[in-house]
A and B are shown apart, each in its own frame.
Chain A
Amino acid sequence: MTDVSYVPGDQTAIVGDRCWVLIDAAPDSAVVAEIWPVMQGEPELDALVASLLRLGLGHAPDFALLVATDGRHRLICRGRSGATLTGGGSPGRVDGTGLSTWRECQVDEAVEQVVLGAPPAGSDLRLPASAGVFLARGIVVDLAPPLTEASGPASPVVSSPASLQPAVLPPAMPALATAAPVPPPGVMRTGPDGDSGTTRYDYLFGATQSRTVEEAAVRPADESDSGLPFPGPPAQEPSPRHARPPEPLGPPASPGPPRLPEPPGPPRSYRAPEPSSQPESYRPPGTPGPPDPYRPPDLYGPSDSYGPSDSYGPPGLRGPAPGGLIDAVPWGPDPDDPPSGPTRVARIGPRLERRPPGPPRPPAPPRPPEGPDAADGTTVMRGDPLRIASGPVSPDRIGPTVHALLCPSSHVNPPNSSACRLCGVPLPPQDPVTVLRPVLGVLLLSTGDVITLDRGVVMGRSPRTEFSGGERPHVVKLPSGDGEVSRTHLEVSLDGWHVLVTDLHSTNGTIVVLPGRDPERLRPGEPTPIQPGTLVIVAADVDFRYEAAE
């Protein structure tokens, strides 16, 4: 039996018969309404977590969840919500601070009391609670007398020396797992096939569909095994532009010990150690190594990897479920954002931002920070790692953007174009899209070199190279032209879709020859638009032509 009381406060306590949740959300919020029916009867851990994370990891509230399932208690804490355990073993505090997912642990039998929420103070008002929803800042669950069913030999966890099992993170978040304490061998509950006892919930997000899940976490490396179509070319087929197909990687070139700097010397390259050299903390003793060195141990194998000792979740919910829940994947296209043809993305450099019809608008402001993703500094990618295979995603905002019209070949064009600047095809009626500014052309130098106009260019005989603020241009050192070229002679700048050239008060000036026009001397310091085909003369034998090649 359990005695439950609560400490009044401004969060929401949801008390059930075998399940207790303190959630940092209003009592009338949708998440509370959703989890209440799930908590009735025999609560399923999977379903509880799915309810709590219905908004996706990026927006889910902090919560502390204690659930009695199959004779044991499991505790899941997300964010600052946590739990304080007292009684036998080594009591302590558990919370999800610093993790972008949550912390999950098994509560040792010897634990007598679990307080969900703020650590209890002696002076706190405590009121008895039966099933219901309360405004609270803490739930006190007295577990004594201990549950009797839990001590069977089939439950290796009872041998745990600590009151808590070390944090168990879903393997969907390997990056975070590195920050969690690593259990000594033998402590983790181990299925016959090497299942580490951790549980994957990420497939549950399919129903709620949120890309922010991926924003917060690293996807398991071989999740594509779950049947996700990857409409790209065959995995091993080298690209036609592949200068040199990747060779099978041999043993590490120099996997040397940490903190040992390489001596100075001749050219060398370093390769990080092979994955097989990873510590095998999560591989139970005796488990044979994975057959494929790049395939991690069966931490996230197929659905049958849930061993019989795994006690939660009906069979239908284990692993990628047949139908229903797995229909959508977190990294799939947003259901509110129907994909346009994948070729639109594949064929053009910048990624597209879909825009509703109407006047052009500036790019969306950056999103505010969403969570302590950097708990251990692991680099993760924003958005879905498989966006190669998915539809348009939000544009990366580093670099100037422009509004553009697309030709049937997905070339981007200025909004006032009637025909494609690259292929000449008439542009169909359409609303402009916002894209990162494409390369606006090239400068063909009289030296035979090509400068790409992906940014502006400052040129001169010995041009200044210091820039602060704004976008750093290319800096190109020109031949001296027998001394005619000034140190910092001119600048080619990009403004939206326009290419402008400015003489930077050079000694001898700059001459432009627009197509079909007479040569003109630039007024010093005055940006002048130039068209494709324009010749810019810097000195008698130093010039360049602007062309609109991409």
Chain B
Amino acid sequence: MIGFRHGVATSVGRVRQVNEDSYLAQPPLYAIADGMGGHGAGDLASALAIETLTGCARLGVLSVPGVLATLDAANQAIAGHEPAGMGTTVTGLASLETAGGDHLMVFNVGDSRVYRVVGGRLDQVTVDHSVVQELVLAGTLTPDQARTHPRRNVITRALGSDRVLRVDHWLLPALAGDRYLLCSDGLFSELAEDQILPLLTGGDPQQAATALVDAANDAGGHDNITVIVVDIDGDDEQAADGDRVADGDTRPRDQLPGSHD
């Protein structure tokens, strides 16, 4: 079986008066919501999203349809709540069993992100729903230009803004030894990926989370910053399913007893 260790840090930053980020760190579900709307609407929207997800996390056993239905419920809750016009991003990591093994479901709406540390580099799993991301996909901007682009804050999808919510999600095997980073845009708009990586990989999850938020504040702290670092633990890497051949060679079928292929 796999397990999780996590660290969390959040900061209002150095410019804003209100922290409109909310988060959930309750295995098997992790999530960050970055609210928008101002005048108290943003933090309400993100809190509503997290509130709804917390109910889902308490169920303990997650499924892809279950998480998607929960996000749909959060969308309806925010859209139907006063004041009208508020919204929130939401991104997260849910642990679930599928195909007989441990998997992770990464989900995203908006421009908060989930990264995975793999092979000593940072692999961004989510794709931002933002104007600058569209420009990056169109080849107009490089990712680094997007990070500082004046319109980097304009998102194209949010909970609470579309009656029919379209959530991006990705299934990934849960591999012991993997480390994931969930963050609001207050982190990556201050720090480039090559600044994030050494901080993320140094120390335990809590140390990494704290170091990242501190660094984003040192770099300006123009926005709220929230970071969750999650480690996937297991008894033995790749042995989670007890399959002796999991890492070995595939057995040709004609060597299998009873095979007539």
Interface residues of A (CB under 8 A from B): 174-175, 178-179, 215, 218-224, 230, 232-239, 241-247, 249, 258-264, 267-279, 281, 292-296, 299, 345-351, 365-383, 385-388, 396-399, 436, 445, 447, 449-452, 454-455, 457, 459, 461-463, 465-466, 472-480, 482-487, 506-508, 540
Contacts and interface: CB of A to CB of B under 8 A. Distances in A.
A179 B17 CA distance: 10
Given A258-B12, A264-B7, A271-B22, A278 B17 contact: yes
27 contacts: A179-B15, A220-B39, A232-B79, A239-B77, A242-B76, A249-B47, A249-B51, A270-B22, A272-B19, A272-B46, A273-B43, A278-B40, A292-B82, A345-B163, A346-B163, A367-B131, A379-B36, A379-B110, A379-B185, A381-B154, A396-B156, A398-B134, A451-B171, A472-B125, A472-B127, A476-B99, A477-B101
Nearest to B7: A264
Given A221-B83, A452-B64, A476 B98 contact: yes
Given A249-B44, A377-B189, A508-B253, A451 B98 contact: yes
A461 B246 contact: yes
A374 B100 contact: no
Contact of A262 (B9, B42, B151, B173): B9
Given A382-B131, A483-B245, A259 B217 contact: yes
Contact of A270 (B10, B77, B80, B186): B10
Contacts of B186: 377
Given A382-B131, A476-B99, A345 B246 contact: no
B81 A246 contact: yes
A450 B66 CA distance: 12
Contacts of A230: 84
B62 interface: no
Contacts of B102: 477
B64 A450 contact: yes
A278 B18 contact: yes
A84 to B, nearest CB: 25
Given A365-B138, A366-B134, A381-B36, A243 B55 contact: yes
Interface residues of B, number: 134
Contacts of A268: 8, 25-26
B197 interface: no
B103 A269 contact: no
Interface in B79-107: 79-87, 89, 98-103
A466 B122 CA distance: 11
A366 B15 contact: no
B235 interface: no
> By CB atoms of chain B within 10 A, which of A179, A272, A396, A451 has the most?
A272
A508 B250 contact: yes
Contact of B171 (A270, A377, A474): A474
Given A366-B134, A487-B250, A372 B150 contact: yes
A238 B74 CA distance: 10
Contacts of A383: 156
Interface string B161-176: 1111010111111010
Contacts, number: 389
B174 to A, nearest CB: 8
The interface residues of chain A, by DSSP majority, are classed as loop
B180 interface: no
A242 B76 CA distance: 8
A218 B20 CA distance: 15
Nearest to B27: A267
B138 A366 contact: yes
Given A272-B22, A381-B154, A480-B243, 10 more contacts: A174-B39, A219-B85, A241-B72, A243-B55, A270-B21, A272-B19, A276-B40, A378-B223, A386-B85, A462-B173
B233 to A, nearest CB: 14
A261 B10 contact: yes
A376 to B, nearest CB: 6
Given A267-B26, A449-B99, A477-B173, A376 B155 contact: no
A367 B10 CA distance: 34
Contacts of A485: 250
